[in-house]
């Protein structure tokens, strides 16, 4: 029985197992049976029918606590993207990029400040996961990549089709095997794509970057709010919650003097009333002239939300000393 492009089904399964099961991309050096080895030699590589997205490692930096490693990867066309490996108690998480640059323009985000270049292909998204898996394997063959967050460079829902194609492969048990409920898609609020996620019954976790409790407050931080106003976004979230019956994680980057007041916290409670929500408070990685938050103000903000009945936690900070905020390492290297 033939698979596509003249590869018999058995050989297709072998290729899948090597690439997605073992995370290996150097097919030419594999000891395949002669028919498959000939097909690889004839069909895979530069200038041939197929190529593998295998980004080049440009830079790698470690956090002082040993829990975070950030990779700067160069793609085939010379564009660079960031991927982060984060260690927590009993698990490892990869944070991947979905675009080179970003079109959303969030004023406190290093990626948003550099503008949009292009979407990543599914293979370029998958390749980041495979890279991190190889790193983990080199550290300890028993270590597994358990979680994935799409919170790196770019807006995942702006690159919807490529992201969904990549996630179908990444969550496949025969490959990387990261369970769909352990994959979180972070969006600045691309309303049509949020509704599409619900209608297509995609099984991934949804995280919505909110950052403002009024239209004026949010629009000052998130330019995309001009296209998808806050009221429209909240309506879409309510519909998503009803259709999927899943909790939505709302991300709130705390910025001193911008969105950290008790009054803002109270408005946020009212805004999310009736939605099964969990709020992740994110201390800002200072960038673009915006300052991080003082701990007292953040804890007061959290107390108000919890008292109002919405679960609220601080995201564990990882890699503040290695420019782990989205786009920060790439921006630093461009300045050198």
CB 298 within 8 A of CB 254: yes
Active site residue 251: no
Catalytic residue among 56, 82, 95, 200: 82
User: Which of 287, 190, 282 has the alpha carbon at shortest distance from 240?
Assistant: 190
Question: DSSP assignment, residue 49?
Answer: S
Burial of 207 (0-12, 13-18, 19+ CB in 10 A): buried
Separation between Cα atoms, residue 197 and residue 200, nearest integer Å: 5
| Residues counted in the chain | 336
Catalytic residue among 102, 205, 237, 326: 326
Tokens 């979680």, located at residue: 147
CB 104 within 8 A of CB 84: no
Separation between Cα atoms, residue 182 and residue 176, nearest integer Å: 12
Contacts of 237 (CB under 8 A, 6+ apart): 194, 208, 248, 275
| Structure tokens, 176 | 């990387």
Active site residue 326: yes
CA–chain centroid gap for 179, Å, is: 15
User: Which of 327, 329, 315, 331 has the alpha carbon at shortest distance from 152?
Assistant: 327
Tokens 């050096």, located at residue: 29
Q: Which residues are catalytic?
A: 82, 326
């Amino acid at each position: 029985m033939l698979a596509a492009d003249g590869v018999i089904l058995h050989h297709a399964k072998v290729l899948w197992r090597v690439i997605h099961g073992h995370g290996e991309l150097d097919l030419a050096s594999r000891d395949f049976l002669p028919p498959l080895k000939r097909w690889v030699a004839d069909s895979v590589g530069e200038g041939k029918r197929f190529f593998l997205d295998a980004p080049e490692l440009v830079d790698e930096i470690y956090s002082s606590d040993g829990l975070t490693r950030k990779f700067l990867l160069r793609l085939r066309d010379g564009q660079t993207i960031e991927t982060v490996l984060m260690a927590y108690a009993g698990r490892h998480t990869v944070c991947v990029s979905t675009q080179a640059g970003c079109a959303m323009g969030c004023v406190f985000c290093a990626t948003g400040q550099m503008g949009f270049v292009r979407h990543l292909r599914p293979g370029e998204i998958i390749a980041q996961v495979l890279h991190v898996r190889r790193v983990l394997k080199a550290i300890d063959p028993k270590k597994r990549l358990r979680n994935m967050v799409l919170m790196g460079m770019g807006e995942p829902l702006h690159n919807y089709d490529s992201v969904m194609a990549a996630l179908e492969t990444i969550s496949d048990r025969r490959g990387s095997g990261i369970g769909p409920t352990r994959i979180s898609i972070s969006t600045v609020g691309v309303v049509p794509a949020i509704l599409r996620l619900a209608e297509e019954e995609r099984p991934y976790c949804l995280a919505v970057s909110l950052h403002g409790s009024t239209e004026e407050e949010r629009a000052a931080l998130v330019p995309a709010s001009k296209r998808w106003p806050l009221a429209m976004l909240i309506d879409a979230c309510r519909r998503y919650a009803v259709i999927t019956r899943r909790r939505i994680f709302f991300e709130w980057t705390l910025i001193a003097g911008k969105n950290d007041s008790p009054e803002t916290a109270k408005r946020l409670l009212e805004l999310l009333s009736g939605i099964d929500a969990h709020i992740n408070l994110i201390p800002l990685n200072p960038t673009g002239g915006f300052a991080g938050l003082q701990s007292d103000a953040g804890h007061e903000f959290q107390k108000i939300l919890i008292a109002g009945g919405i679960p609220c936690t601080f995201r564990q900070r990882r890699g503040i000393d290695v420019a782990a905020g989205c786009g920060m390492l790439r921006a630093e290297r461009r300045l050198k």
